[in-house]
Amino acid sequence: MRKGFGIGAINKKALQQSKFEEKASEISENEMTQLTRQIETFKKNLEEFAYKHRDEIKRNSNFRKQFQDMCANIGVDPLSTSKGFWSEMLGVSDFYYELAVQIIEICNSMQERTGGLIYLDQVLDRIRKVRNRFVNEVSLDDCRRAIKKLNIFGNAFTLITMSNGRFMVQSLPDAMSVDHTQVIQLAETNNGIVTREIVAENLKWDSYRIENILNFLLKEGIVWIDIHSDGIKTISSYFFPSFFIQ
């Protein structure tokens, strides 16, 4: 019989395999224990850093953004709950909830003039005017984070990224589609006005699609219509009042 075969060899191989699996399991457990300790140590260090710089985090919007970006990079969300360490120590969760309420109030108060669309920096200007000068500084980044809190209302409050890098706040009960957003972005590049002809030329849509989108925007009060004649034909121009709010 050739060496290495038979019941004894099989049992020996099985024993070696068992020991190998046992050792692998031991290594995995040790690594997991070590990783858990590292996470706990890091969390402790992060909390100590937050405690040490809590006044600067609350007062300085740039420092607050850097702190939150650092938290995001390691999977910690200081805004995830209104209770617990972050809220009690820093008050950041309460800060953003209060800011979200102010954003809602401003958007609602201006809805008849804006049609439910307003630049985020214009919202920020109004927030800074109504807030006490001794209250924590507020930035565009703070406003963006606060609006994310409003996801609990569905799509009623969302941000639209414009072609120039600015953001618009949409505060409408009915969610807008990509088509609506494209028309809004087109209007921004055309002095806040679109016509059926402008939409067709730039977006290459058929008349039915254009009509549906413009009718929705008109019904929701997002646009105003001006019907006039150029001497040859009647032209309907759709104005976005949000682009004319200063």
pLDDT in tens, 182-227: 999 999 999 999 999 999 999 999 999 999 999 999 998 899 999 9
What is the Cα–Cα distance from 9 to 13, expressed in whole angstroms? 6
171 close to 156: Cβ distance less than 8 angstroms: yes
* Cα–Cα distance for residue pair 37/31, rounded to 1 Å: 10
List 194's β-bridge partners, or say none. Answer: 238
Outline which parts of the chain fall under CATH 1.10.10.10: 33-173, 176-246
Higher pLDDT, 61 or 153: 61
Angle of helix 140-149 relative to helix 61-73, nearest 10 degrees, comes to: 50
Please tell me the predicted confidence (pLDDT) of residue 215: 93
pLDDT higher at 32 or 225: 225
- Answer whether 115's CB lies under 8 Å from 221's CB: yes
Inter-residue contact 222 to 175 (CB < 8 Å): no
CATH architecture of 176-246: Orthogonal Bundle (1.10)
- The predicted pLDDT at position 204 comes to 94
Confidence of residue 6 (pLDDT cuts 50, 70, 90): low
Determine the pLDDT at residue 115: 87
- What is the percent of the chain where pLDDT is above 90? 28
Q: Which of 79, 89, 90 is nearest to 144 (CA)?
A: 79
Helix, strand, coil % over all residues of the chain, rounded to 5? 65, 10, 25
Render pLDDT for 87-132 as a digit per residue (tens, 0 to 9).
555 556 677 888 888 999 999 898 888 888 999 999 999 998 877 6
What confidence category does residue 45 fall into, taking pLDDT thresholds of 50, 70 and 90?
confident
Give the Cβ contact number of residue 213 at 10 Å: 21
Q: Find the angle CA(117)-CA(119)-CA(122) to the nearest 5 degrees.
A: 120
pLDDT digits (tens, 9 = 90+) for 50-77: 778 777 877 777 888 888 787 777 667 6
For 237, the 3-state DSSP assignment is strand
Confidence of residue 1 (pLDDT cuts 50, 70, 90): very low
153 or 161, which is more confident: 161
pTM for the model: 0.66
Q: Tell me the C-alpha to C-alpha distance, in Å, between residue 71 and each of 67, 68, 78, 138, 226.
A: 6, 5, 7, 19, 50
Residue 9 confidence (pLDDT) above 70:
no
> Is pLDDT larger for residue 68 or for residue 153?
68
DSSP three-state, residue 84: coil
- Average pLDDT value for the chain: 80
* pLDDT: which is higher, 168 or 24: 168
Cβ–Cβ < 8 Å for 57, 92: yes
- On whether the 33-173 domain is CATH 1.10.10.10, my answer is yes
